[in-house]
């Protein structure tokens, strides 16, 4: 009988060993087939940075580079959690104010009650977990659409923030450790050390995987591509650490300001943690499965309800982390913490980074790439002296653009069958 | 082939409220054979399959697996016995690749980390054992596969777990000519490899091409289970539509009142009597 693709011999797994050329061609055909991944975010980042650098030379200074990280940190962290919810095709509109509630809890525990910083952080994260559990329960067990549940949460949490900080005023965050998260830097040596550890760890993981697959006779990426990836990471981290280790202080005699902001390794560790969870554990596999085809997942024996509740828990817990960073950066918590544009920036970051609003497609790295784009727009337009109004409009347009790219590439891949 | 059937059902009854869907149904499936389960829409084929796979509990009746009585209360218990069902649709995740789909819900792990190389190797071996050569890469997303390739992956997923009985629900319903041939060949190969196969199909050509036995359901009753070589195409159609064909099927003539479909068969039962 006939087979669609007849090979001369051998089992299914015997494929021609990929070369660098075929690897590039494969990638290009995937992109053309609609699987564009993070390409728009990276291109957008390059274009935006070039434009801002030409218009405002101060954009390219080491000081502003460091600012980008601290400005984008909270949004990026919230977006990381949102990606889990988006992977299931759900949405969490309450993530912004959930981060506000958690920040208010943090400030109350640390400042008003005077507990040490770790108790306050724990309390904030537990609050996030509780919020997520409630949201997840309402969506999964009661069956209310997540849009409605989290829209209700959006309103209610806004009120809870007001109540927690007893109307209008704000609560200062003075604890030196908490303030350090978003305001202090690592000593330059430690920055280099962490970068070296990161590159070394990545190289070890990649090479080990390569060798293991080779020894099992499985198809591997060409070694040149593997080495290229490691080299690219080393280059990016090296340049970033080098720039951040430059002196950024206006007056060195008064105070020295250099080194990697502490929030950067915080983001990096969470990025690695959640990437590991999504791609290397069966829990992560099941998240993708439920996002791709809920019925197939159910028939495969996956507890779909548990997965659905868990993503809301992760999302709200990450919102808590984002809230802690926001409180640290502002040195205080006020009624607007986690409010205004935070949520939409976070959703925008995830979508701009390449996570699909239709579920089933996305990576935690998307939050970092998209968060960088959002931070660059916000920062660059601020430097150019545009008002908040213009910034909102531009960010809204960029979000719309990203969502259109998502929808169009989805349509394209439906045609070429490579979603 | 073997004398003891791998699966034997006796006197299965199943009602949904006042509606009795299965009435005293008996079915046997032998290892190394393809048993075709035929019947018109609403005859109870799907309900019977769901009883076997543990999705619905049967109201009454006996399950014998490998000669010994068993009771199946959940899909997991069915899977533990080595019973796998391949559904016509809704069985694969488009956004996952072939290996990920084949191991979905039963991933191999070392510690908490997924053991990808082992899974990929097992998937490759399973596909090779089924002589599947039509997929380009095991790391291809299922969305990029054709209907026949998807069905192939679904079947390979079912045999991955040392399963002993594979039930296929209309595996060729949505496929073109070449792909149907490909999938039927694969189904035949499953039986030749020693598995018991139950094939649900509406397509008589498929049924006669690969089945060893034919079991016909008519309005919730098993009207006949015979060797494929002992029956003609026309007789099967009569069994499906009227519940009887000559000496075969329901003894009662009262079932004939519902058999208004006989006109479409254009044949007479006497021809083979």
Smallest Cβ–Cβ distance between A417 and the set B128, B144, B185 belongs to: B144
- Answer for the pair B195, B166: CB distance below 8 angstroms, yes or no: yes
What lies within 8 Å, CB to CB, of A294 at 6+ separation is A304
Smallest Cβ–Cβ distance between B144 and the set A7, A300, A418 belongs to: A418
- Greater confidence, B189 or A417? B189
Contact A292 B181 (CB under 8 A): no
Q: How far is CA A176 from CA A97, A121, A161, A179, A191, in A?
A: 25, 13, 23, 5, 20
* Paired residues of A24 in beta bridges: none
Q: Which residues of B touch A281 (CB under 8 A)?
A: 112-114
- Measured over the CA atoms of residue A109, residue A111, residue A115 and residue A116, the dihedral's sign is positive
* Paired residues of B217 in beta bridges: B39, B222
Q: Which chain A residue has its CA at the smallest distance from B138's CA? A: A13
Residues of chain A whose pLDDT is less than 70?
Answer: 1-18, 34, 167-168, 414-419
Q: What is the DSSP string of A43-69?
A: HHHHHHHHHHHHH-GGGGSHHHHHHHH
User: What average pLDDT score do residues B7-24 get?
Assistant: 89
Read off the pTM: 0.85
Q: Is B110 on the interface with A (CB under 8 A)?
A: no
Q: Is A168 on the interface with B (CB under 8 A)?
A: no
- Does residue B254 surpass a pLDDT of 70? no
Q: What is the distance in angstroms between the Cα of A89 and the nearest Cα belonging to chain B?
A: 13
Kind of pairing, strands B221-227 and B213-218? Answer: antiparallel
Question: Longest Cα pair distance anywhere in chain A, in angstroms?
Answer: 83
Distance CA A391, CA A286 (A): 38
Q: In a 3-state reduction of DSSP, which class is residue B39?
A: strand
Three-state secondary structure string covering B57-76? CCCEEEEEECCEEECCCCHH
What lies within 8 Å, CB to CB, of A12 at 6+ separation is B124, B127, B128, B132, B133, B135, B138
Does A227 reside within a domain? Answer: no
Q: What is the distance in angstroms between the Cα of A212 and the nearest Cα belonging to chain B?
A: 8
Contact A281 B114 (CB under 8 A): yes
The H or E element containing residue A255 is none
Q: Which residues of A touch B95 (CB under 8 A)?
A: 288, 291-293, 360-361, 419
The dihedral region occupied by B6, where left means phi > 0, alpha psi between -120 and 50, and beta the remainder, is alpha
Smallest Cβ–Cβ distance between A216 and the set B117, B135, B148 belongs to: B117
Does A262 reside within a domain? Answer: no
Distance CA A212, CA B77 (A): 35
The pair of three-digit structure tokens given for residue B208, joined into one six-digit string: 């006669």
Range from A82-86, A110-114, B62-66, B106-110 that averages highest in pLDDT: A82-86
- Answer for the pair A290, A308: CB distance below 8 angstroms, yes or no: yes
Counting the structural domains of chain A, the total is 1
* Paired residues of B12 in beta bridges: B25
Q: What is the DSSP string of B10-28?
A: EEEEEEETTEEEEEEEEEE
pLDDT at B264: 36
Q: Which of B74, B83, B105 to mutate to test the interface with A (most CBs of A within 10 A)?
A: B105
The pair of three-digit structure tokens given for residue A133, joined into one six-digit string: 């559990």
Q: Is B111 on the interface with A (CB under 8 A)?
A: no
CA Rg value for chain A: 23
pLDDT at B259: 39
- Nearest one of A187, A129, A149 to A311, comparing CA atoms: A129
Q: Is A5 on the interface with B (CB under 8 A)?
A: yes
Q: In a 3-state reduction of DSSP, which class is residue A272?
A: helix
Q: Which chain B residue has its CA at the smallest distance from A17's CA? A: B137
Q: Is B90 on the interface with A (CB under 8 A)?
A: yes
Distance CA B64, CA B35 (A): 16
Does A265 reside within a domain? Answer: no
Q: Which residues of A touch B104 (CB under 8 A)?
A: 285, 289, 296-297, 300, 302
Q: Which residues of A touch B148 (CB under 8 A)?
A: 4
Q: Is A282 on the interface with B (CB under 8 A)?
A: yes
**How would you class B137 by CB atoms within 10 Å of its CB: exposed for 0-12, middle for 13-18, buried for 19 or more?**
middle
Q: Which chain B residue has its CA at the smallest distance from A88's CA? A: B95
What lies within 8 Å, CB to CB, of A205 at 6+ separation is none
Q: Which chain A residue has its CA at the smallest distance from B120's CA? A: A218
Give the CATH H-level superfamily of domain B7-230: P-loop containing nucleotide triphosphate hydrolases (3.40.50.300)
Distance CA B132, CA B169 (A): 20
Q: How far is CA B129 from CA A28, B122, B123, B160, B193, in A?
A: 33, 10, 10, 10, 9
Contact B124 A2 (CB under 8 A): no
- Answer for the pair B101, B92: CB distance below 8 angstroms, yes or no: yes
Q: How confident is the model at residue B251 (pLDDT cuts 50, 70, 90)?
A: low
Q: In a 3-state reduction of DSSP, which class is residue B9?
A: strand
- Greater confidence, A266 or B77? A266
Q: How far is CA A189 from CA A154, A185, A310, in A?
A: 43, 11, 39
pLDDT digits (tens, 9 = 90+) for B16-44: 888 888 988 899 999 999 999 998 888 88
Does A411 reside within a domain? Answer: no
Q: How far is CA A252 from CA A183, A244, A255, A258, in A?
A: 17, 15, 5, 10
Q: Cα A374 to the chain's mean position, in Å?
A: 12
Q: Is A141 on the interface with B (CB under 8 A)?
A: no
Q: In a 3-state reduction of DSSP, which class is residue B148?
A: helix
User: What average pLDDT score do residues B128-133 get?
Assistant: 78
The pair of three-digit structure tokens given for residue B106, joined into one six-digit string: 């039963």
pLDDT at A167: 64
pLDDT at B252: 56
Distance CA A45, CA B63 (A): 64
Q: Is A214 on the interface with B (CB under 8 A)?
A: no
Distance CA B13, CA B251 (A): 20
User: Helical H runs in B217-265?
Assistant: 233-242
Does A194 reside within a domain? Answer: no
- Answer for the pair A59, A379: CB distance below 8 angstroms, yes or no: yes
Residue spans in chain B of domains classed CATH 3.40.50.300 = 7-230
Kind of pairing, strands B68-70 and B60-65? Answer: antiparallel
Distance CA A213, CA A221 (A): 10
∠ CA B159-B163-B166, rounded to 5°: 75
Q: Which chain A residue has its CA at the smallest distance from B111's CA? A: A281
User: What average pLDDT score do residues B208-233 get?
Assistant: 88
Q: What is the DSSP letter of A98?
A: H
Residue A347 belongs to what domain range? Answer: 56-184+303-398
pLDDT at A261: 92
Task: Determine which of B63-67, B176-180, B252-256 has the lowest per-residue pLDDT on average.
Answer: B252-256
Helix axes A62-87, A223-244, angle to 10 degrees: 130
**How would you class B37 by CB atoms within 10 Å of its CB: exposed for 0-12, middle for 13-18, buried for 19 or more?**
buried
Does A114 reside within a domain? Answer: yes
pLDDT digits (tens, 9 = 90+) for A391-414: 888 888 888 888 888 888 877 776
């Amino acid at each position: 009988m006939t087979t669609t693709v007849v090979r001369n011999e051998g089992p299914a797994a015997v494929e021609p060993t990929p070369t660098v050329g075929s690897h590039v061609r494969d990638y290009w055909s995937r992109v053309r087939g609609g699987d564009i991944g993070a390409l728009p975010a990276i291109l957008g980042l390059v274009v935006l940075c070039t434009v801002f650098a030409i218009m405002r030379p101060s954009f390219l200074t080491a000081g502003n580079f460091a600012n980008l990280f601290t400005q984008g940190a909270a949004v990026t962290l919230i977006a990381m959690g949102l990606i889990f919810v988006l992977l299931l095709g759900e949405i969490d509109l309450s993530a912004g104010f959930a981060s506000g509630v958690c920040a208010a809890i943090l400030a109350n525990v640390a400042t008003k009650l005077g507990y040490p910083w770790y108790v306050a952080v724990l309390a904030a994260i537990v609050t996030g977990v509780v919020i997520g559990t409630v949201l997840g329960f309402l969506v999964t067990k009661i069956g209310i659409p997540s849009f409605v549940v989290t829209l209700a949460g959006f309103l209610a949490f806004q009120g809870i923030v007001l109540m927690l900080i007893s109307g209008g005023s704000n609560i200062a965050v003075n604890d030196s450790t908490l303030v350090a998260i978003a305001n202090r830097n690592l000593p330059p040596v430690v920055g280099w050390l962490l970068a070296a550890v990161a590159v070394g760890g990545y190289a070890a993981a990649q090479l080990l995987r390569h060798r293991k697959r080779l020894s099992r006779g499985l198809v591997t990426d060409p070694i040149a591509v593997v080495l290229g990836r490691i080299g690219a990471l080393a280059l990016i981290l090296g340049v970033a650490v080098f720039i951040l280790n430059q002196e950024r202080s206006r007056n060195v005699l008064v105070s020295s300001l250099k080194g990697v902001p502490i929030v950067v390794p915080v983001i990096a560790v969470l990025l690695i943690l959640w990437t590991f969870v999504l791609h290397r554990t069966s829990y992560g596999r099941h998240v993708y499965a439920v996002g791709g085809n809920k019925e197939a997942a159910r028939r495969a024996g996956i507890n779909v309800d548990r997965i659905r509740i868990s993503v809301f828990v992760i999302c709200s817990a990450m919102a808590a982390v984002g809230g802690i960073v926001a409180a640290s950066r502002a040195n205080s918590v006020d009624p607007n913490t986690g409010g205004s544009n935070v949520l939409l920036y976070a959703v925008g970051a995830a979508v701009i980074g390449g996570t699909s609003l239709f579920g089933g497609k996305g990576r935690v790295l998307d939050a970092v790439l998209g968060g960088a784009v959002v931070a660059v727009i916000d920062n660059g337009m601020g430097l150019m002296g545009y008002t908040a109004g213009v910034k909102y409009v531009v960010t809204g347009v960029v979000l719309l653009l990203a969502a259109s790219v998502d929808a169009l590439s989805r349509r394209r891949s439906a045609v070429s069958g490579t979603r | 082939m073997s004398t003891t059937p791998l699966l034997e059902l006796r006197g299965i009854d199943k009602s949904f409220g006042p509606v009795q869907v299965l009435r005293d149904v008996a079915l046997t499936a032998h290892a190394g054979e393809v048993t075709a389960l035929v019947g018109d829409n609403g005859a109870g084929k799907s309900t019977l399959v769901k009883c076997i796979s543990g999705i619905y509990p049967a109201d009454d009746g006996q399950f014998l697996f490998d000669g010994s009585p068993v009771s199946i209360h959940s899909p997991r218990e069915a899977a533990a016995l080595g019973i796998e069902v391949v559904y016509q649709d809704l069985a694969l995740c488009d956004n996952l690749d072939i290996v990920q789909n084949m191991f979905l819900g039963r991933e191999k792990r070392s510690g908490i980390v997924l053991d990808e190389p082992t899974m990929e190797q097992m998937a490759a071996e399973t596909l090779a054992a089924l002589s599947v050569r039509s997929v380009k890469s095991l790391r291809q997303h299922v969305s990029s596969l054709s209907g026949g390739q998807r069905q192939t992956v679904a079947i390979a997923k079912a045999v991955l777990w040392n399963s002993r009985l594979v039930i296929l629900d209309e595996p060729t319903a949505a496929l073109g000519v070449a792909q149907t041939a490909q999938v039927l060949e694969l189904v035949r190969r499953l039986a030749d490899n020693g598995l018991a196969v139950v094939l649900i199909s509406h397509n008589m050509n498929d049924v006669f091409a690969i089945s060893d036995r034919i079991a016909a359901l008519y309005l919730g009753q098993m009207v006949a289970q015979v060797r494929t070589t002992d029956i003609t195409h026309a007789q099967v159609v009569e069994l499906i539509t009227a519940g009887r064909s000559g000496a075969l099927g329901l003894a009662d003539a009262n079932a004939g009142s519902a058999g208004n479909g006989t006109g479409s068969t254009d044949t007479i039962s006497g021809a083979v009597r």
